[in-house]
Structure 1
Amino acid sequence: MRAPIVKSIICIIFLVSCTPKKNSIETTVVSPDGHIKVDFFLSDQNEPSYLVQYKKEKLIDSSKLGFELKDALPLSKNFKILNVQKSTTDETWSMIWGEDAQVRNHYNTLKVVLEEHSELKRKLNIIFKVYNDGLGFRYEFPEQKNLDHIVITDENTEFNLVGDHKVWWIPGDWDIYEYLYNTTKFSEIDALKYYKPGTHLGQTYIPENAVNTPVTMKTDSGVYLSFHEADLTDYAGMTLAVDTLKLKMKSALVGNKQNIKVIQEIPFETPWRTIQITDRAGDLIESKLILNLNDPSVIDSMPYFKPMKYVGIWWDMHIGTGNWDYSGKYHAANTVYAKKMIDFAEAHNFQGMLVEGWNTGWEKWWDKKNKKEHFDFVTPYPDYNLEEVVRYGKSKGVELIMHHETSADIIGYEKQLDTAFALMQSLDIHSVKTGYVGRIIPEGEYHHGQYMVNHYQKVLDKGLETQVAINAHEPIKATGKRRTYPVAIAREGVRGQEYNAWSNDGGNPPEHLTIVPFTRMLGGPIDYTPGIFNTSLNPYKEHNQINTTLAHQLALYVVLYSPVQMVPDLIKHYENNPALQFIEDVGVDWNKTKVLDAEIGDFITVARQEKGTQNWFLGTITDENKRTLKVTLDFLDSDRTYIAKLYKDTSDAHYLNNPEAYQIEEQEVDSKTVLELYLAAGGGCAISIMPKNNVNE
């Protein structure tokens, strides 16, 4: 296990009275810089409660904590405080791969040990960790005589807001996160209007007016808040039920048809409930709060996986030039096409190649009545020679990425898990894209419930065992577990690029990807598949298009973080296009990440330094409004001169009527340079910045 570099740990234990005064603040913990203050106290009915202040401004008013249990009295009131423990931790740890090479983990801890006054004397601990950029708290059920297991029907964690904040949100669906983000006042949230059974490819269920996390807000005073969870392990995913009148949120766990949310043996700990707090939108992205609240890595290194760019047989099926199933008009997953993809990848130094539709069962995928166990994860179609494709790829330095679409038949997939991963291990394949489209089998379960959380973990464990990294689609949301399990390299969990090709609602609007970095991406890496050059989608989809310029598509390789970035368009749309050079050059593993400027829903500018080089890459995108931004390059080394290569929108570019118009410029820059960048409507700019001597060489 990777040992963190501990700078200082100071622990102090305070024993307090077992009969505290009601209505008084019993405990307080502040952030290391003193700006965030959390007060824990017991209410008049001895209910565990807390409130949060930031720079002396109350952000979370008195909010209660507790549980509803099946066949047992609630764990919510009649408590006394047995003792309080406080500590300070300041350590630095290294990321195997990620946005930054080094991560500082600096926080103050408060642990409150509670016991009921009742005859059962049930015990419950509440732990707060307070950072300079937010806080996390969790429940701990210690080993005890009168409680050996629990069945949770509701977790009543409250977040009482103090204003009608501006909110970026998606509905609290129990199965998918693939929605456009809404921008409304908190009092205007209405998730139920989005529940239209049968209108989505997969299973959906929205039982109440709730939002999924991360959900991000901005107060009238300009403070940014984002609510999420960290270290989601053997527990149900959390949505947040909203009370639009009282400006209140309460945890609403994803359950099953029996209304069971969580079954647990004691002792155990819940996931962390997290609140990020910043004055600047970009600091939400730079924050490592979610990662830090997870355990250290269970492995020291991953020599079998390297962050990479990859091509694939994927976009064909979305634009209609190919089929997944062998019985289709043109089965795209064939040996000849796979080899063409490998040749293209080798020519442009892309390290991976994904093939979807390679295995038998796709012809039955749409048969909802007979979906059980129709996919075979070891048997290819007759026109696809798996072993030959792997061999050919290795000869060209291109690794095959396996694909497992389970159609949400968890019983069938788990029966084949051993053999499917053994096949990858035998062929020296070290990454797989998994998919879970459709209704969960066994029936009565949902994608974000405890049953599926444990399934996704089971796949990660199998990946660790066989040295296979996992890119999960239709996943459980990211909660920072990639720190503990670095094989969790990426996941979807977002309305992705494919919606532009086949949705009938106009696709993703330009503002979509100016919101995603401050919501979904706060949880972890995102597999969005940027880089479509034929943004008009002609001649394949005459009624669809991608609502960005080509320069915007390039910038996404920097703006959207993932250690596996796809180059998804058809080969012919990249050939002889100078813009492909940026995708060849751009990094995928980073030493430093800086969000230079941003306003959620309007624009974002991100700079990242590639790990192992002195190269920087910058990406900036805008919504449907054109704008001119000034970008200062003061993040560059002060004693170096660089060559910046800018891939820009032309003055007449526009995401609707002239999306593929761009220009390339080069100029010498240094840390004092201020660039003035014009972004067209729906546009962007991508910049490679390399030391002058390296470029000349």
Structure 2
Amino acid sequence: MKRLSFLLLAGFMGTAAQAQTVHSPTNKLTLNFQLSPSGEPTYQVRFGAKPVLKPSRLGMLLQGQPALDKGLTIARVDSSQHDDTWQPVWGEVKHIRNRYKELAVTLQQPASNGRRVVVRFRLYDDGVGFRYEFPQQPGLSYFVVQQELTEFNLPADHKTFWIPGDYDSNEYTYTTSRLSQVNSAPIEAIQLKSDPKRVQTPLMLKSDDGLYVNLHEAALVNYPAMMLDVDTQTFGLRSHLVPSVTGAAAYLQAPEHTPWRTIVVSDKATEVLASKLILNLNEPTAFATTTWIKPQKFVGVWWEMHVNKASWNYADTSNIKLAGTDWSRLKPNGHHGANTQNVKRYIDFAAKHGLQSVLVEGWNVGWEDWAGNWKEEVFDFVTPYPDFSVPELQQYAASKGVKLMMHHETSSSVTNYERRQDAAYRFMKQYGYEAVKTGYVGRIIPRGEHHDGQWMVNHYNRTAQKTGENQIMVDMHESVRPTGLHRTYPNWLASEAARGNEFNAWSTGNPPEHETILPFTRLMGGPMDYTPGIFQIKLEGWNPQRNQGKQVHTTLAKQLALYVTLYSPVQMAADLPEAYEQHLDAFQFIKDVAVDWDDTRILLAEPGDYLTTARKAKGKEEWYLGSITDEQARTQTVKLDFLTPGTRYEATIYADAKSASWDKNPMAYQIRKQKVDSKSVLKLQLAAGGGAAVSIKPVGK
């Protein structure tokens, strides 16, 4: 049911309304806006009596024009309220309520031909969103944003969970420190690292008096991503926009607006994770139909390359020009993973266990010609290697009721990919591929642009639009971090945009706390393709010489729990089939767990420490629960009062064995069953770096 009501107040002119106050729908939050004596716009936010943000400046630096930061007057004030409910195409809940109060302040700059900018605030009970809007006007038509002057001035030296403000990568482990201690200089940069006191959003903070504050953005369209510069003395944060090759941030034409800057705040960590503020600030989808969008689970020719059991490239040589276009002249290396017979093995496994798709990486020519070179033409996205038969695998997969998932590694030669997208998507449709995983490893072409700059943001959004027009689902890796645009483009099922499970195979790995931080940071903006489900924790089992001492920093039971705690509508069973065949009793949870949900309950949470989440499967009376911890072993007491009263259920509990720990005994687990109802309480024993997964299915009244 939709409920809408509006109240409009307008016409406060000149200096008659220098200060404005607006409260959230149930008065949890208060926002004050005012102009300083010099005409600087400022705002501040309170949660009850507690300060969330001290007075913080707003404004814009423009290239070749006076800044929009002072000498401003209030030309108009509009306020309204809104309350409706909408249904996502897929997601964590069946219905989302969008309830807020809005304040729109039109500012005028008399000394600069009366230029106008609107600052629009929306106050929800769980946070604030605001953005800058530039109406069509004679004095501001085409313009260039050099930087934003948006501030988030915190009242104290909060505990914070951060990664460096790298323009080209989000793939870092999180540092937990006080704001005053932020310094990324000692951290090894993955691609290009900027100022050592610059951090990325989503940024998670916790005050000493128990407030949880999350800073991010929503609806990132035609604009660069926002980083935050930290003042370690005053605890102030200032926005920093990722620059283009020219050094400017954004090239705009009025009418235009920025993304929403978001502040999610609560005195309960669980409520931060339950917030739908970022989704609510995005536009509904314009796709006429969405029935072709299908959340799913998949396996793939992928992990075996990471653990040195196979290769992406087909040939030994790194000089493919020796062969020209005749790939049969190249000598096979004997380790190519994406060969027809190996892919059939994955198709058979998916069909046997009810998984919908098989991803295949390394199927197409060009991998020998890349090797990190900053090259324009590498892949054409339509030419397979000699040992990969596209027609044969199409027919074989169809006979088994399984779909193949396409892989497009662009090598970050994005101009090349954009020239070839139409042909690549026609090829996909011709051979029955309904989903594509894109990748952007390396330095961007056009040279000098960044992964998180305006040019690339527009590319990701165009790709979501174009794949949607072709009724293709997309999962983007090495992209900008999400900002809720999966509401607008529901075919954009997931992104990577963070340090995923793959880092456990070929680096120092991810510490056990990593997965307890991700929901409070990266996943605030949208689903992540984290690739959980690694069962062979000790990687020496795949290649003893090259994987000596390597392991995933987890227990097997925790890998199961990640299917619930790290939300995604497209979840990979990331390990090799033979790893699952040795533990089919534990694999049953992966087979059972849903990827689309009617309800989600965040039961227990503390960033960096632990998380327990329960979700109700779409259209079913089945619940799935995941509980994870950091390096510390814990006992979690979980009330099942979310279950339907009067209904009996059977809970299957996949837990760490008593002897389990992530470092010494990671693959030890136990499975037990018990009858439960809405009055039951589960006591879950989580090993160090471990977890528990629970399926709860009805057995009658």
Please tell me the TM-score bracket, short chain as reference: over 0.9
Match of 1:571 in 2: 577
CA contact (8 A) 1:421 1:462 kept: no
- Structure 1 partner of 2:28: 35
Q: CA–CA distance in 2 between the matches of 1:562 and 1:307? A: 9
CA apart distance, 1:316: 0.7
1:531 is aligned, of 508, 512, 533, to: 533
Distance 1:474 1:502 in 2: 17
Residue 118 of structure 1 aligns to a residue in which SS? helix
Please state if 1:473 is matched with 2:477: yes
Name the residue aligned to 2:187.
194
Shift of 1:679: 0.6
Q: Quick check: 1:56 aligned with 2:63?
A: no
1:365-419: CA deviation from partner (whole Å, max 9, x where unpaired):
20515x2211120010010011221221122111111000001001111110110
Following superposition, the deviation at residue 176 of structure 1 comes to 0.5
Residue in structure 2 matched with residue 215 of structure 1 by the alignment: 203
Partner residue, 2:341: 336
SS of 2:64 mapped into structure 1 = coil
- 2:617 paired residue among 610, 615, 640: 610
Could you report, residue by residue, the CA deviation over 1:494-547 in whole angstroms, capped at 9, with x for unpaired residues?
1111111100x3x11111101111111111000000000001112222221011
Q: What is the TM-score with the length of structure 2 in the denominator?
A: 0.95
Shift of 1:300: 5.0
User: Alignment partner for residue 659 of structure 2, among 648, 652, 665?
Assistant: 652
1:260 corresponds to 2:248: yes
Where do 4+ consecutive residues of structure 1 move more than 6 Å? none
Is residue 141 of structure 1 aligned with residue 134 of structure 2? yes
Measure the CA separation in 2 of the matches of 1:271 and 1:478: 12
Q: CA deviation at 1:329?
A: 3.8
Match of 2:320 in 1: none
1:102 partnered with 2:106: no
Equivalent of 1:636, from 624, 640, 643?
643
1:235 equivalent in alignment to 2:223:
yes
Unaligned runs of 5+ in 1: none
Q: How does 1:287-436 map to 2 (within 5 A)?
A: 287-327=275-315, 328-366=333-371, 368=373, 371-436=375-440
Using a 3 Å threshold, how does the CA distance of structure 1 residues 576 and 65 change in structure 2: closer, same or farther? same
| 1:673 lines up with 2:680 in the alignment | yes
The whole-number CA distance in structure 2 between the counterparts of 1:335 and 1:693 is: 46
The answer on 1:65 being equivalent to 2:67 is: no
Q: Secondary structure at the match of 1:530?
A: coil
The Cα shift of 1:429 comes to 1.6
The secondary structure found in structure 2 opposite 1:192 is coil
Separation (CA, whole Å) in 2 of partners of 1:513 and 1:576 = 25
Q: Which residue of 2 aligns with 1:685?
A: 692
Using a 3 Å threshold, how does the CA distance of structure 1 residues 119 and 354 change in structure 2: closer, same or farther?
A: closer
Q: What is the DSSP-based 3-state SS (H/G/I as helix, E as strand, rest coil) of the residue aligned with 1:528?
A: coil
How far apart are 1:17 and its partner, in Å? 3.2
SS in 2 for 1:584: helix
Cα distance, 1:74 vs structure 2:
0.7
**What is residue 551 of structure 1 aligned with on the other side?**
557
Structure 2 portions without partners, runs of 5+: 316-332
**Hey, what does 2:669 align to over in structure 1?**
662
TM-score by length of 1: 0.96
d(CA) in 2 for partners of 1:367, 1:171: 23
Partner residue, 2:548 = 542
Q: Distance in 2 between matches of 1:271 and 1:192?
A: 29
Counterpart for residue 265 of structure 2: 277
Following superposition, the deviation at residue 302 of structure 1 comes to: 2.1
Alignment partners' CA distance in 2, 1:595 and 1:633 = 12
Equivalent position to 1:440, from 411, 434, 444: 444
The 3 A distance-change label for structure 1 pair 393 and 305 is farther
Q: Distance in 1 between matches of 2:28 and 2:602?
A: 22
1:569 maps to amino acid: D
In 1, distance between residues paired with 2:580 and 2:188? 39
Is the 8 Å Cα contact of residues 159 and 207 (structure 2) preserved in structure 1?
yes
Q: Are 1:224 and 2:203 matched, yes or no?
A: no
Q: How far off its partner does 1:195 sit?
A: 5.3
Q: CA RMSD for the aligned pairs?
A: 1.2
Deviations 1:281-324 (A, max 9, x none): 11111110000000111125422221111000000110001000
Q: 2: distance between equivalents of 1:208 and 1:267?
A: 35
**Alpha-carbon contact 2:527-2:567 (below 8 Å) kept:** yes
Residue 515 of structure 1 aligns to a residue whose secondary structure is helix
CA contact under 8 A between 1:373 and 1:413: conserved in structure 2? no
Please state how far the C-alpha of 1:250 moved relative to its aligned partner.
0.5
Q: Please list, as runs of the form range in 1=range in 2, the aligned pairs for 1:488-499 lying within 5 A after superposition.
A: 488-499=492-503
- Secondary structure in 2 aligned to 1:109? strand
1:208 deviates by 4.8
Q: SS of the residue aligned with 1:33?
A: coil
**What is the distance in 1 between the residues matched to 2:421 and 2:21?**
48
Q: What amino acid sits opposite 1:372 in the alignment? A: E
User: How far is 1:228 from its partner?
Assistant: 0.1
Change (3 A) 1:283 1:183: same
Match of 1:205 in 2: 193
Counterpart of 1:125? Answer: 118
* Cα distance in 2, alignment partners of residues 510 and 591 from structure 1: 29
Give, as a single letter, the amino acid of the residue that structure 1 aligns with 2:598: N
Q: Distance in 2 between matches of 1:94 and 1:606?
A: 21
The range that moved more, 389-398 or 10-19, is 10-19
1:323-348 Cα shifts (integer Å, max 9, x gaps):
00111441000111111100000110
Q: How many residues align?
A: 679
